[in-house]
Structure formats: structure tokens, C-alpha cells
Amino acid sequence: MQQIYDRKFIEAKKSEPEFEREYNLKYSGRTGNTFNNLDIDLSIKRYDELKISQIPLTHGGQFFIGLDPASGSSKTACVVSNHIVVEDPITKVPKDIIRLVFAEEYEKPSASFIVDLCRKLRRQFNYHTAFFIDSSAPFLIRDLRASVNEDTDNSVKDISKEDIFQPVVFQQSHKNLLSNLEHLVSKGYLAINPKFDKVITALRSAYSVEWDYKKDQSEYDDSCDALMLSCRGYNIK
């Protein structure tokens, strides 16, 4: 490769999101218009610069878990985030950070599998958790709420903010959810572990029109939905 391109040229190109696709022949998803690729790159870089992986899970606030159940040909996606305060290594000023600690997709899992997964996540994060779930799966939500002895007869509007499992009417709130996520990314609050490649591709490829997320023009939209739900719990200006 150095025989064709100058080394400085190669190093400069490595910082561009298209590098892996164009020069290493790796497909990294479509190019979206919702999130700035530089902001996404900084979110990944921030994870290493602030040594997020070295911060114990016991350090920080509540864990917010976004759960997007499978529908039709889609997959079930789950993303867990957590708010922490980290000292900036340069300015030494405390900084609000939302770290992603878990992100996975599942191919048509059973309801019992999801209930067991949520039970394990609650245990892993010391039961300091809140789940935000797409309300389009009422039977799954009923099973999840029953697993922690929460009322299974309540309508969405009657759900308490103190409840562990909270359904979200995605069709009504998806624009606000996407706008909120874009705000967190563009303002430098998100820190993404580089191993969460599906989430990263979902952000890079997310296409929207006036905050209306176009899933058919985006990649890993289930992971993006789960991330939006997970970040619903934050109101950082």
C-alpha cells in the first residue's frame, strides 16, 4: 500500500470513517445523516482516553437498559448505559459521561430467554436498574413485570417512574428519543467501547428526516432503537 500512497496520506485517511471500507475492503454500513462521524469517532476515542474500562461498575448512578423486542424480521436488541462523572485528564474538570457497558442483538429469542437475560442483567448491575421497553410487545412486558411482582394490568400511562420495567410508546416518542440521543453524542457525553461494533455502525448509518428515523435506509436499526431507549433516562443539557 505504501508503494501507491504516501505514508502521511494513509495516516490522514485512517481518521476518516470510510477508510476501512475503501482501503481495507471492510463494509461498515451505509452513511447516514443523523450523527456527525467526527462526534462518533470522539465517542469511541473518549472511552480509551478517560480509561472508562478501568472504572468499576459500582462507580456511578443507575443503569438504564433499552430493550427493543423482535418484530417481524427484526432482532431483539439490548443496550445498557450508565452515568458517571470522570475528571478530564487535560482540564482536570469533572465531566458527565454516559458509558455503554453492554450491547447485544439476538435472533428471535423466546420470552423466557429475555426474562432470564433481564434477571441476569439486574443481578450483574446490583439491581440498580431501570428497563425501557418498546410497548409493541405487551405480552413480553407482562412477563417481565410479573417476574418482579409489578402490576401487569396497568396501561402505559399508569406506569410509575419508580417501576423497574417501563414500556415506552415508540411510535409517539421516537423523534424525541432520536433527538435526545443526537444531543448526547454531539455534546460529547457518550463514551462507546470500540467492541460494540453494531452500535457504532448503527450510529454511522442512521438516516432520518426531521428526526423521523428511516430504518429501511439504516443499518442495525434494532441496536439504534435500544440505544435510544437506554438514553431516554438522561436529561443532560
pLDDT in tens, 43-89: 999 999 999 999 998 877 889 999 999 987 889 999 999 999 999 88
3-state secondary structure the chain: CCCCCCHHHHHHHHCCCCHHHHHCCCCCCCCCCCCCHHHHHHHHHHHHHCCHHHCCCCCCCCEEEEEECCCCCCCEEEEEEEEEEEECCCCCCEEEEEEEEEEEEECCCCHHHHHHHHHHHHHHCCCCEEEEEECCCHHHHHHHHHHCCCCCCCCHHHCCCCCCEEEECHHHHHHHHHHHHHHHHHCCCEECCCCCHHHHHHHHHCCEECCEECHHHCCCHHHHHHHHHHHHHCCCC
* pLDDT score of 25: 40
For residue 27, is it within any domain?
A: no
Residue type, position 219, single letter: E
Residue 68 lies in a domain: yes
Cβ atoms of residues 82 and 61 within 8 Å: yes
- β-strands 76-87, 94-106: how paired? antiparallel
Q: What would the pLDDT profile of 13-35 be if each residue is shown by its tens digit?
A: 554 545 554 445 454 557 899 99
The CATH number of residue 67's host domain is 3.30.420.280
Q: Residue 122: phi, psi to the nearest 5? A: -60, -45
Q: Report d(CA 138, CA 39) in Å as an integer.
A: 36
Q: Is residue 113 part of a domain?
A: yes
Q: For residue 4, tell me if it sits in a domain.
A: no
Q: How far apart are CA 89 and CA 111, in angstroms?
A: 44
Query: Averaged over 89-104, what is the pLDDT?
Result: 93
Assess if residue 29 is contained within a domain: no
pLDDT tens across 165-223, in order? 999 998 899 999 999 999 999 999 999 999 999 999 999 999 999 999 999 999 999 99
77 within domain boundaries: yes
State the pTM of this model: 0.85
The type of residue at 6 is D
C-alpha cell at 72: 417481524
**Interacting residues of 157 by C-beta distance below 8 A, sequence separation 6+:** none
- Written as nine digits, the cell of 108 is 428471535
133 within domain boundaries: yes
Confidence of residue 2 (pLDDT cuts 50, 70, 90): very low
How many angstroms separate the CA atoms of 151 and 96, rounded?
34
Report which residue type is found at 189: Y
Structural domain contains residue 30? no
Number of domains the chain is built from: 1
Q: Give the domain range for residue 188.
A: 35-233
